[in-house]
Structure 1
Amino acid sequence: MFPFLLFGCATDASYYTLSGQKHTYHRIIYKHSACLDEGIMRVYDEFYRAINPFDSQSTISHVNRNEAVQLDPLFIEAFNRAMELAKQTDGAFDPTCAPLINRWGFGYEERPEAAQAESLEYLKTYVGYDKIELSHDVIVKQDPRVQLNFSAIGDGFACEVIARYLEGQGVRDYLVDIGGEMIASGKNPSGNDWSVGIVQPPKQLGGSPADTFSAILHLSGKAALATSGNYNNFRRVNGKLRGHTIDRGPVTRWRLTC
């Protein structure tokens, strides 16, 4: 699913819109007496410099290569949040799944060849959130091959970080949309609740979404929404299309959603 923002014509000149494709799709709409775009982008860049596994100079990339690096506060916060979610979900979300994500061709080390059961069995020997911890602001790994990937929660967490910045500047009416994850507060430029249209997904991977909405959601007060669409991110393996949702469970760790 992919969201579209719905509202009428803006009548209040104090609403600003910041949008682009840097790091990922983002659209940030906020009401303020001055433009805050520069500050927003500074926070936005700082966040992705901490947790973007596709940036070879990010904090998480240095950690994955076992290089000495001073952990910045945003990385530490993201790590702690990821580990908390891993424990709450009993590993259904696991930030150490980077080798599996790479193996299927969705990570920062693309491997387009078909994944074989033997290699997956080998990979799972060093995948598991119990194999890594943070001790006195230092990452400690039980196995140096353990690697991190926070992407499953990254965009949503980025929304929280941007929303926190906006509220620190006194902003009360805003919508932060990063990669289809969003946080809304207050009212839109029309003075109404923020409305989000969920695009009707295609019936199969590789198809085009319909021109209609499967639902229109109204975000009242302060609310958050996460969306994800396998049809936007897939690979062809042995002639079959595979979506990007991965099962890291203890039995086979094969594809959960196809």
Structure 2
Amino acid sequence: MKIYSFIFLLICLSMSVKGKEPLNRYSLRGFAQGTDYSIVYYHPKELIKTAEIAAILNAVDSSLSIYNPHSSLVKFNKMGLGSMEVDTHFQQVFLASQHYYNLTGGLFDITIAPLIQAWGFGPKRIKVLPTQQDINAILPAVGLYQVKLHGKHLQKENAATQLDVNGIAQGYSVDLIADYLASKGISSFIVELGGEMRIQGVKPKREKFTVAMERPVHGEHGVELKESLLYLRKGAMTTAGNLEKYYFSEGQKVTHHINPKTGYTFVTPIISATVYANTAMEADALDNYMMSLSPQEAIKFANKRKNFEVYIVYKDSLGAFQELQSKGFHKFFKK
């Protein structure tokens, strides 16, 4: 009896090995939320179509885009005092934004929209830069404590308060797509949207997914970007920096990283912050927070937080690029 059972077990194992279908590589590309996206997944069969991804991203845009004049967010920004019903996407992003607002002591604040616009980083062009008087007039409307969510209704307690969720919405979108892939039975994939990445599983030969991290260095022709390869099995990664979105005003560098408490650009030696977190939404929200801190403060924050790592590039007092990394970031350099 034991012999027959053993033979039966061997036959079943043999059938399961032979019946295991090979994993094929599938990729999807498109344009959404003002940027490119790409998805690579491994599965025996093609399960996802571009139209499905477009539907997810279009739904987020209809809810949260500051550039879509018909979005729920734009409608909320235009209304005065009162409340309006918002959809699930809006609710989830708002609740997450509240969490990171509290976690960062108010430095991550989605009510920063009027300041972003005043400095020329919003949807409308500006002709003149804001004066101190302009900033003083805007600041009373900034502060997420002035917006409340009651069930499905979002309430505005200051008529001038406006929201801008660009610092978290793309991460949320990436997580939505990742969850959608997982719901279809896909366990090996990488999703990228505007530099926000979410990874799950490994490739067919047990290889980790590869992510290219660019960091500034001094080269023969000035500042150059040096590429390093990172290897991930799961989680999310993104990089915040001020090498692209900036201009100079009266000799001062103005970036899109605006301090919601002062109304002016954060003064920090940090040039870029590459963040790893469990979700793309967390990485997206906290990479900007890293840019508001000193290099040492950013590393200290990361070392205290579970499943959170950061790689900092900053300029020292002599103008030379220096690098710091949290205690667990080194593992991403290993294949």
What TM-score, normalized to structure 1? 0.84
Task: Say whether the 8 Å CA contact 1:97–1:248 is kept in structure 2.
Answer: yes
Provide Cα deviations, 1:144-195, integer angstroms capped at 9, x if missing partner.
Answer: 1110111111111111111111111111111011111111011246641011
**Equivalent residue of 2:128, what SS?**
coil
Q: Distance in 1 between matches of 2:120 and 2:217?
A: 22
Q: Distance in 2 between matches of 1:110 and 1:70?
A: 30
Instruction: Say whether residues 1:96 and 2:111 are aligned partners.
Output: yes
Provide Cα deviations, 1:183-226, integer angstroms capped at 9, x if missing partner.
Answer: 101124664101111123366xxx8743x31x321112x21112
Q: Distance in 2 between matches of 1:20 and 1:79?
A: 26
Give the equivalent residue in structure 1 for 2:37.
26
Q: Which has the larger radius of gyration?
A: 2
Task: Say whether the 8 Å CA contact 1:126–1:146 is kept in structure 2.
Answer: yes
**Equivalent residue of 1:199, what SS?**
strand
Give the equivalent residue in structure 2 for 1:173.
188
1:183–1:257 distance in 2 versus 1, CA, 3 Å: farther
Give the equivalent residue in structure 1 for 2:263.
253
Give the equivalent residue in structure 2 for 1:116.
131
What TM-score, normalized to structure 2? 0.66
Give the equivalent residue in structure 2 for 1:49.
62
Stretches of structure 1 that go unaligned for 5 or more consecutive residues are: 1-11
Provide Cα deviations, 1:41-99, integer angstroms capped at 9, x if missing partner.
Answer: 21121112211111111111111111886411111111111111111111110010000
Deviation at 1:27, TM superposition (A): 1.3
Higher RCO structure (Cα 8 Å, ≥6 apart): 1
Q: Aligned-residue CA RMSD in angstroms?
A: 2.3
Paired residues, number? 239
Give the equivalent residue in structure 2 for 1:223.
235
Provide Cα deviations, 1:217-251, integer angstroms capped at 9, x if missing partner.
Answer: 1112x2111212322222343465422211112xx
**Equivalent residue of 1:16, what SS?**
strand
Provide Cα deviations, 1:14-56, integer angstroms capped at 9, x if missing partner.
Answer: 3221223322221111123124122122112111221111111
Give the equivalent residue in structure 2 for 1:244.
256
Identity %: 25
The AA in structure 1 aligned to 2:245 is N
Give the equivalent residue in structure 1 for 2:244.
232
The AA in structure 2 aligned to 1:16 is Y
Give the equivalent residue in structure 1 for 2:177.
162
Whichever structure has more strand as a proportion of its residues is 2
